[in-house]
Amino acid sequence: MIVKHLAALQNFGSMDILCSDKTGTLTTGDMILDKYVDTAGAVLERVLFLGYLNSYHETGIRSPLDTAILAHKTLDITAYTKLDEIPFDFERRRLSVVVAQGDKRLLITKGAPEGVLPLSTQFEAEGQRHPMDSDAMERCKKTYQELSSAGYRVLAVAYRDAEVQSAYRAQDERDLTLVGFLAFIDPPLEGVVEVVNSLKRDGVTLKILTGDNELVTRHICEQVGLEVGDIVMGDDIQRMSDTALAHVAENSAVFARVSPAQKNRILIALKNRQHVVGYIGDGINDAPSLHAADVGISVSSAVDVAKDAAEIILMERSLEVLHHGILEGRKAFGNVMKYLLMGTSSNFGNMFSMAGASLILPFLPMLPTQILLNNFLYDLAQITIPTDNVDASYINRPRRWDIGVIRNFMLVIGPLSSLYDFLTFYALLKIFHASPTLFHTGWFVESLATQTLVLFVIRTTGSPFKSKPSVPLTVTTVLIVLIGILLPYTPFAATLGFAPLPLGFFVFLFFVVGTYLLLVEVVKRWLMRREGLAIGK
């Protein structure tokens, strides 16, 4: 997985809705032409031949369906010469080419049955053309609907004799003769049922946005265990206001026959309902949706435009890989929160303590060099936070930034830290009768120990004795505290302005650190409950 922008990783973990096409996500994406049948469902080679002519002469970006047609069988079409092409678009959902065979011109149309059948005034049976009356139209619809209900993706193939003219346009797609249907299979991915259930369990709602018809979409979605409900059609979306669409988008799981523009509207509607929305796509037409989503996700095999628009690129198109990425995003977000809670509370407390000490002491509470060294060691202790384990209660649902939690933690824990600093000031002055040098040393050690070891409490929403920190985090944190304690006894002590501390101070330090961590644990749990956050075990 390639993350192009670090902020996207946090959004990845916060994502609660994932929108995707079913092809290549729920299915393998490897289209195979399985059937070519006439309007009654009987095998007919002529359907394949006309479909092959259409796909072979197409000059636009070939879809997987065109690739499957051309790969199915090599046909001899040397007798035909291409004259013109009417490109595919998502409004017509069809593509036509005009070819010549001697003096005869033929316009061949291939596309979604819903886009081809209304233009067909005749159908072909046993080599003969027949009028497309209402009964014939119903038989044709029944044929492709049965194929769709069985999970096939279906294209209709039709033609007409074309007039001699310099160019052909969409208006020339009329009075067609329907020949039959091409049926493709795209089987579900292995293990996709388990991944769909895992996403649901971890708080991510999967919504399918596809250009396929509702019959094949329902068949595939039911095969993978996705709760379909009522399928929302692109034509319905076209008639909806943005307000109505927001409600429908939030409560519906599957959208069929949707255009790229309609996909974009769905994403924006979901975002307006305060959802963090991810979108996975790999085609040119997916670029606007990849931009519109909070997290644009593409794959390494996608077209360049899609990869440029995406923030995260998967090296393998797989929902399982995507699920793992979401969990890693939540882990990263959890560890960032540990850093923020620890840093803001400690820095606020140190600032408060420094300001208070400056008012009552006749000397600086800590030398500038010592402040810099304290911050340096403190930061070193935190460089292994990204390796830390994260509570399961933090990973099993999406998390979002909440500045209120950080602010409240700082305003409560910060002064608590200062309270123990003032206790240390009192002990150093009244119990140990410290000189300025001994005072600097004592506060340096106490400050470093409390603000560093508190990470073991802050790093989990539950009990620090039940949530195991990572080995690197444990080693660096304990090592930094030991370095701070030993510095006054090293040859660098005089240079840094330190003096050896009396043994009694370490008894006091043990009491201060122990009670401080215990009090922070009590206050932390109170704050977590107050903010409505889950308490880990």
Burial class, 328, CB count within 10 angstroms (exposed 0-12 / middle 13-18 / buried 19+) = middle
Q: What is the per-residue pLDDT for 535?
A: 53
What are 3's strand-pairing partners?
312
> Is the separation of the CB atoms in 117 and 137 below 8 Å?
yes
The CATH number for 330-530, chosen from 1.10.3720.10, 1.20.1110.10, 1.20.1250.20, 1.10.10.10, is 1.20.1110.10
Tell me the C-alpha distance between 18 and 385, whole Å: 29
Express each pLDDT in 188-246 by its tens digit: 887 888 888 888 889 899 999 988 888 888 888 888 888 888 899 999 999 999 999 99
Burial 342-351 (b: 16+ CB within 10 A, else e): bbbbbbbbbe
The pair of structure tokens assigned to 85 is 């092409």
Start-end of H helices in 361-470:
368-382, 392-395, 403-426, 436-453, 455-458
Among 180, 181, 179, 206, smallest CA distance to 192 is for: 206
Pair of tokens at residue 47: 């359907």
Instruction: Tell me whether the CATH fold assigned to 2-28+188-317 matches the one assigned to 32-185.
Output: no
CA dist 29 → 32, 113, 233, 334 (Å): 9, 21, 22, 35
Closest CA to 264 of 203, 342, 209, 338: 209
Domain residue ranges of the chain, discontinuous segments joined by +: 2-28+188-317, 32-185, 330-530
**pLDDT above 90 (res 44):** yes
Percentage of the chain modeled with pLDDT above 70: 99
DSSP state of 501: P
Among the listed ranges 1-15, 63-77, 167-181, 377-391, which one has the minimum average pLDDT value?
1-15
| 452: number of Cβ within 10 Å | 24
pLDDT band at residue 75 under the 50/70/90 scheme: very high
Return d(Cα 526, Cα 522) in angstroms, integer: 6
Q: Is 229 left (phi over 0), alpha (psi -120 to 50) or beta?
A: left
Distance, CA of 390 to CA of 410 (rounded, Å): 21
Amino acid identity for residue 3 in this structure: V
Percentages helix, strand, coil for the chain (3-state, rounded to 5) are 55, 15, 30
CA distances from 129 to 83, 126, 177, 404, 408 (A): 25, 8, 7, 73, 78
Q: Would residue 304 show up in a list of annotated catalytic residues for this protein? A: no
Of 6-10, 53-57, 212-216, 481-485, the range with the lowest mean pLDDT is 6-10
Tokens of 297: 């996700």
Q: What is the pLDDT of residue 531?
A: 67
Q: Check: CB of residue 279 under 8 Å from CB of residue 295.
A: yes
pTM: 0.78
Strands in 26-132 per DSSP E: 32-38, 81-89, 94-101, 104-111, 120-125, 128-131
Q: What is the CATH number of domain 32-185?
A: 3.40.1110.10
Instruction: Please determine, for residue 260, whether its predicted confidence score (pLDDT) is greater than 80.
Output: yes
Q: How far apart are CA 394 and CA 388, in angstroms?
A: 13
CATH of 2-28+188-317, one of 3.90.45.10, 3.40.120.10, 3.40.50.1000, 3.20.20.70: 3.40.50.1000
Choosing from 16, 21, 212, 286, which is the catalytic residue?
Answer: 21
pLDDT at 306 over 90: no
Contact 104, 81 (CB under 8 A): no
84 φ, ψ to 5°? -160, 170
Runs of H (alpha helix) within 78-213:
113-116, 134-149, 192-201
Least confident among 74-83, 249-258, 322-331: 322-331
Cβ–Cβ contacts within 10 Å for residue 261, how many? 15
